[in-house]
Structure 1
């Protein structure tokens, strides 16, 4: 680092800008494919109804009441422009095109305000979606993508080196992400303290991947080592991400090397999670963000001096841009008080936002680990008598179902319906959206059926549907050799139904 300019972090900037933009492509694509059947005009939880309710509350109130009503939603363009499915599609397509341009580095060829406006457009556009996404968008990685996209807006362009304060803010984001997750585990379930958490997690995680079973069958001493490694990577290593700052005062390569090693450990642990599970873009985003601590001297440095700017140049950065990034740093100093308090609070919040703009958030995951996997299986039949019927199972794309099927790798793509199906057995009652989902199956709604891997009735309406629960566990090596099944399921219990439409 060279004062205001992080001259050794050009490669880090390229990874951050292109990587974050790439994940915006995935997020908008996921929304394009799934939002309408889940939350559209005829969705399971129609977003237009939520928007109209918020508008009605705001109109009915006065003064403080009206302000509170407007804050029922995070900022969204759909409060200013009426929501339609067509406009949702237009927003997603625009987001994909804009993010793809950033992946290719096209806006970065201009002055710094060009990529800034592009990233702020992605941030506002995607926040407009998450704000009305309700439970289907209630995941920590939605907030993480938004905050990362906002910070990426201030990384500048290829015409000048990245600003030191912006690179440091990315370290602060990774610190909150990793250290917050580590603290939530230490304060959470006993399994994280007695080192048994990973003896269950590979099997009970929301959406296992193709290697999850092999990871689950590893010896117990390896699982204990995984937990110890996790604690080290999340509670100790994040502090060393800030080591490159010492380079401002201590000559030599050691501070930069320490920061790079810390980043490499974070990346390695996240890649292990990528191999053994499906956590949407959470792990991939952490990998991208960790590159912010890897400084490579001489990589990507401009061959010629930057062009003169009428406002002056400070350490290669135009003075107006330096003012903008300094204002960002001042904003984050103020906003960071609440997440900093939360990190060391007795009752730590997980995946919490302290302001409407979802900046300087608190992060964390899996404070407790489920020790038993319960899956809700949805079945249908065309027989008139449900008591004597032959039932056929609907197959989901990601969550376990048919016991011989190999779990697939979907991350960083996010299968929202499958994730919500994992949460259902953990609640005290079935959510409202699930009842509507069963009705859509009875109607053989094409948009809903496209969310599934297989419709056993090939688009025809079933007469009855029902939901039953099973306990799932991974097959042992001996059971797999005998049955060629990846899962063993038992303890069947009715959950809902049979239900039918009135004819």
Structure 2
């Protein structure tokens, strides 16, 4: 069975598994801390309402059989505990089959979360975590060397992530072809980080170099992942450096980090492999059968990549086993932000005391500098960015958000950085206004201390209050 395993990659597998478990931990922690306001029983998009209209076969999940906030919290915190155990290496203390079952637990739990998460979980990195997590089940532990076919499929995922993203850029916005997208991207990206202002003010020629380097990394380097060593290791290292550059320039949840994690099994670390017995026959059969199924399903993302109508971040099956990826096929030139305000006045007027709600990650107060949150995912902040692009994105949930703010709902307020109203005195009215945001210049920053300058555009939501029937008893 020497053909089946690659002992030189034992340390690569170890580093990959520990890093993937850490990302699982972040994902479950995000779910545990945010679900009540987003998809809980009184959430903006409640799970019970969703499972009533969506059958199990379309969206398989534990919560199709039973849902309560307590049960969801139990699943999320169980996911945290199992992920922490995997990060600590507990799977290496178990027999091979036990380690595989342990890796199956976070995948099944997170699949259950994503498949009822609706808009809040409609991001490409959710499917990517599930696809990579499913393969990790069959990567083995210390009882066997890493299987070659699983290592190949991990490279195949990394190839699709990078090459698909490169293609959708070339086919999407002409600024990628003109090398000018980064003149705007750092300012208009969903959630800027603490260094994004400085990235935006880099010289324009350097922006051109950045875009050109991105094209090389995403359209040329992915093919080198399948080259002999050490070329494949060099290709993976280049991808890791590129992703770390993106980590510094913005907050993209765990998208950059899981891409880095995917590159780790490509790298051959200089370490003597331990002596391990050959792979048992049952393990060989299971791994080959699963990999054959995944290769068979791969025709869908391949067809999508070669299509002129390429779509991004699409799952082709309810288990998220094989998916297509890509981001920023188009880049906004202007940044808009929805600013939510409340007043305690019984009859709101323009000169009323309107107080602004502050979000944790999205721009608000022009003087407040962005913070680093990734790989933690602020789901409400991300959806607020989409809402500013078009009110249609906010249609399913924005009204519920306003209602919760009018009630001073504790779980919803926990998603925010600060509420301008005390817990026992909710606002009488809520309104939302659309502003245009732009980064200040170096001179403006020195004079005002503000990193943003904002200009009022129009009303997004007129002053709204709870009706008598909607108020809590």
Give the alignment's TM-score, normalised by structure 1.
0.90
CA 1:483–1:2: 2 relative to 1, 3 Å: farther
Aligned to 1:77: 62
Matches within 5 A, 1:39-438: 39-54=39-54, 69-71=55-57, 73-80=58-65, 82-243=66-227, 255-299=228-272, 301-302=273-274, 304-306=275-277, 316-387=278-349, 388-429=351-392, 430-438=394-402
Structure 2 counterpart of 1:494, from 436, 459, 464 = 459
Q: What CA deviation, in whole Å up to 9, does each residue of 1:403-461 have, x standing for no partner?
A: 11110000000000000000002225341310111111111111111110000112221
CA 1:329–1:305: 2 relative to 1, 3 Å: closer
Matches within 5 A, 1:26-41: 26-41=26-41
Output the aligned Cα RMSD: 1.4
2:276, 2:401 → 1: CA distance?
A: 61
Partner SS state of residue 230, structure 2: helix
Aligned to 1:246: none
The answer as to whether partners of 2:142 and 2:276 remain within 8 angstroms in 1 is: no
Aligned to 1:3: 3
Partner SS state of residue 323, structure 2: coil
| Deviation, structure 1 residue 305 | 4.7
2:119, 2:95 → 1: CA distance?
A: 39
Q: What CA deviation, in whole Å up to 9, does each residue of 1:347-390 have, x standing for no partner?
A: 11211111221112111111000110000000011123311302
Deviates more, 1:140-149 or 1:428-437: 428-437
Moved over 3 A (4+): none
Aligned to 2:471: none
Partner SS state of residue 4, structure 2: coil
Task: Structure 2: give runs of 5+ residues left out of the alignment.
Answer: 469-473
The answer as to whether partners of 1:110 and 1:159 remain within 8 angstroms in 2 is: no
Whether 1:477 and 2:450 are equivalent positions in the alignment is: no
| Deviation, structure 1 residue 185 | 0.4
| Deviation, structure 1 residue 3 | 2.5
Q: What CA deviation, in whole Å up to 9, does each residue of 1:259-310 have, x standing for no partner?
A: 11000110001001100100000000000110111013544x21x453xxxx
The answer as to whether partners of 2:149 and 2:288 remain within 8 angstroms in 1 is: yes
Partner SS state of residue 317, structure 1: coil
1:296, 1:45 → 2: CA distance?
A: 46
Aligned to 1:248: none
Task: Structure 1: give runs of 5+ residues left out of the alignment.
Answer: 55-68, 244-254, 307-315
1:169, 1:98 → 2: CA distance?
A: 24
1:438, 1:356 → 2: CA distance?
A: 32
| Deviation, structure 1 residue 2 | 5.9
Deviates more, 1:177-186 or 1:343-352: 343-352
| Deviation, structure 1 residue 474 | 0.7
2:416, 2:234 → 1: CA distance?
A: 42
Aligned length: 465
Q: What CA deviation, in whole Å up to 9, does each residue of 1:202-222 have, x standing for no partner?
A: 000000000000000001001
Q: What CA deviation, in whole Å up to 9, does each residue of 1:300-348 have, x standing for no partner?
A: x21x453xxxxxxxxx322221112111221122111111111111111
Q: What CA deviation, in whole Å up to 9, does each residue of 1:39-82 have, x standing for no partner?
A: 1000011111111223xxxxxxxxxxxxxx444x32101122x1
Aligned to 1:250: none
| Deviation, structure 1 residue 492 | 3.5
| Deviation, structure 1 residue 396 | 0.1
Deviates more, 1:427-436 or 1:460-469: 427-436
| Deviation, structure 1 residue 115 | 2.1
Deviates more, 1:159-168 or 1:2-11: 2-11
Partner SS state of residue 493, structure 1: strand
Partner SS state of residue 259, structure 2: helix
Deviates more, 1:423-432 or 1:374-383: 423-432
Aligned to 2:23: 23
Give the alignment's TM-score, normalised by structure 2.
0.96
